[in-house]
Amino acid sequence: MSALDINNLQNTFQNAINLSGSAGAVSTSPTQSFMDTLPRRMSTSKHAKVLKPFSTGDMKILLLENVNETAVSIFKEQGYQVEFNKSSLPEDELIKKIEDVHAIGIRSKTKLTSNVLKHAKNLVVIGCFCIGTNQVDLEYATTHGIAVFNSPFSNSRSVAELVIAEIISLARQLGDRSIELHTGTWNKVSNKCWEVRGKTLGIIGYGHIGSQLSVLAEAMGMHVFYYDTVTIMALGTAKQVPTLDELLKKSDFVTCHVPATAETKNMLSAPQFAAMKDGAYVINASRGTVIDIPALVQACKANKIAGAALDVYPNEPGKNGAGAFNDDLNSWTSELVSLPNIILTPHIGGSTEEAQSAIGVEVATSLTKYINEGNSVGSVNFPEVSLRSLDYDQENTVRVLYIHHNVPGVLKTVNNILSNHNIEKQFSDSNGDIAYLMADISSVDQSDIKDIYTQLNETDPKISIRLLY
């Protein structure tokens, strides 16, 4: 297995994301940019030492759900064994596949439950090639030493642009007019069709997507209010409001950009629809549990809500195909699809060539850095720990990656085991009940490595260990 070559990886990134031919087609994420500014920990050496794992065999990568080719290329350049699948897998087949892989890459359809993960004997890292990680049992992964990475920013622009398109489409009833003309009906009307200029957009959740949407909406002449649980500096002339109720009362269009949590479940339900302006519009491109869809159906039937655009649903089909979106999946489906001015899309908010290419590079880079160097910067469930790469001239040096329970006395125990060798550099951090220690030690040979591995493996706080040399 070859080590990550920083220069080649940067070239791969530029080539992969430069789809339109312009240098600024896709930008790196804020996390990626931050990582590039860490000279103390990140290697700037052109001669990084090739590290290989001790006692793990060849690195096997399982990629599901048609993960972008940029990721496949990055993994293959590392010499990993890559198995690529265009779709998700049934649980029984997934359990068989995951048994001997060291890394798995998924999108939103694959469910990595504790029942699946308990069969993964060699799994080191999980890559979610999407924003969310709710499809992974993070508690199980964390307590078993499996790092999880995602791409929280790379598709922000794609989602924001979709919402802008839906705002205009709802205001002009474009969905209905298109369906009518496809069936031969000419229905040229202006009644209750509006310009969006001068209208008010209410954004629930002013994160990376919400803030980008804010800028785009203002450029079209809209007034923007936003509600968030934390105080966030506004972009442009947008204004933060203190309560959700105030946002609902002020807004002609309400759009949701929040995670799926217990607090956001059915965040918009009958009381919230009642508080909105008559003839307002609702958009959800965040998570399917955020909107109470039966309540939305009733609000639309009562003409309280003039239209809605939904890209996400409580239950979504596991694969593409005719008839997949039906009442067996969600009991209200038939009623929803019969309503006028309802735009329904199959979870495509981030499904653009630019976004998927950038996501492929970002997540594959994070996984490769973790596999090759132990770098956990950007992990959603691990402490963020990294050390600069070893140089070629640093012979007889081993990198210790020790994931353990966050209990007193661990550093003393580990350093006693390493005390016969020179500890060149060491970094440790904790996150709740889990802690992660990295150390580079020199003056070791093959027998020393085996002895260190055995001793660390026998320590009580150990969750998992890897040695790279």
For the chain, what percent of residues have pLDDT higher than 70?
Answer: 87
Asked if residue 379 is part of any domain, the answer here is no
Q: Are residues 169 and 252 in the same domain?
A: yes
Ramachandran category for residue 19: left, alpha or beta (phi over 0 → left; psi -120 to 50 → alpha):
alpha
Question: What letter represents residue 65's amino acid?
Answer: E
Q: What is the CATH number of the domain that holds 445?
A: 3.30.70.260
- When divided into structural domains, the chain yields a total of 3
Q: What is residue 357's predicted lDDT score, i.e. its pLDDT?
A: 95
Q: What phi and psi values does residue 126 have, to the nearest 5 degrees?
A: -120, 135
| 211/106 same-domain check | no
Q: Which domain holds residue 248?
A: 156-344
Q: Are residues 192 and 308 in the same domain?
A: yes
Cβ partners under 8 Å of residue 405, min gap 6: 433, 434, 435, 461, 463
SS3 243: coil
Respond yes or no: is residue 157 known to be catalytic: no
- Give the alpha-carbon dihedral of 291, 292, 293, 298, to 10 degrees: -120
Q: How many residues does the chain have?
A: 469
Write out residues in the chain with pLDDT < 70, as ranges.
Answer: 1-57, 392-394
35 and 146 both lie in a single domain: yes
Q: How far apart, in whole angstroms, are the C-alpha atoms of residue 32 and residue 369? A: 12
Does residue 193 lie in a domain region? yes
* Cβ–Cβ < 8 Å for 339, 170: no
The answer to whether residues 313 and 276 belong to one domain is yes
Give the model's pLDDT for residue 2: 41
Q: Specify whether 217 is located in the same domain as 229.
A: yes
- Choose, from 102, 107, 208, 287, the residue flagged as catalytic: 287
* Element (DSSP H or E) covering residue 410: helix 410-418
Q: Which long-range contacts (CB under 8 A, 24 or more apart) does 188-193 make?
A: 192/279, 192/306
Q: How far apart are CA 184 and CA 71, in angstroms?
A: 44
**Is 390 part of any domain?**
no
CA torsion sign for 226, 232, 235, 238 is: positive
Same domain, 234 and 135: no
366 touches 127 (CB < 8 A): yes
Together in a domain, 15 and 98: yes
CA count, 13 A, side-chain hemisphere, 387: 24
Predicted local distance difference test score (pLDDT) of residue 52: 64
Distance between CA atoms of residues 169 and 74, nearest Å:
39
* 380-393 burial code (b ≥16 CB/10 A, e <16): bbbbebbbbbbeee
**CB count in 10 Å sphere of residue 188:** 6
- Whether residue 378 is contained in a domain is answered as no
Residue with tokens 């909105």: 276
User: Strands, DSSP E only, in 150-244?
Assistant: 200-204, 223-227, 239-240
What pLDDT does 35 receive? 32
Which of the following is catalytic: 157, 257, 347, 388? 347
- 458 is known as an active-site residue: no
Edge to edge, the sheet with strand 305-310 lists: 239-240, 223-227, 200-204, 253-256, 280-284, 305-310, 342-344
Q: Are 53 and 170 found together in one domain?
A: no
Q: Which residues of 267-283 are buried (b: 16+ CB within 10 A; e: fewer)?
A: bbbeebbeebbeebbbb
The answer to whether residue 387 sits within a structural domain is no
Token pair belonging to 14: 């530029």
Measure the CA angle with vertex 397, ends 396 and 401; round to 5°: 145
- Which tokens in the block code for residue 396? 């007889």
Tokens 């789809």 label which residue? 19
- C-alpha distances in angstroms, 224 versus 55, 214, 245, 254, 258? 56, 6, 15, 10, 17
- Helices 446-457 and 410-418: crossing angle in degrees, nearest 10, is 160
The answer on 67 and 96 residing in a single domain is yes
Q: Which amino acid is at 240?
A: Q
Q: Parallel, antiparallel, or unpaired: how do β-strands 422-431 and 434-442 relate?
A: antiparallel
The string of pLDDT tens digits covering residues 122-171 is 999 999 999 889 899 999 999 999 999 999 889 999 999 999 999 999 99
194 and 337 part of one domain: yes
Check: CB of residue 311 under 8 Å from CB of residue 256: no
Q: What is the CATH number of the domain that holds 192?
A: 3.40.50.720
pTM over 0.85: no
Return the pLDDT at 394.
Answer: 65
Domain assignment present for 120 = yes
Whether residue 88 is contained in a domain is answered as yes
Residue 434, in any domain of the structure: yes
| b/e burial code for range 395-416 (CB count within 10 A of at least 16 → b) | eebbbbbbbbeeeeebeebbee
Catalytic one among 246, 316, 353, 424?
316
Q: Is 316 a catalytic residue?
A: yes
Pair 234, 181 in one domain: yes
| Rounded Cα gap, residues 242 and 320, in angstroms | 41
C-alpha to C-alpha distance for 154 and 160, rounded to whole angstroms: 12
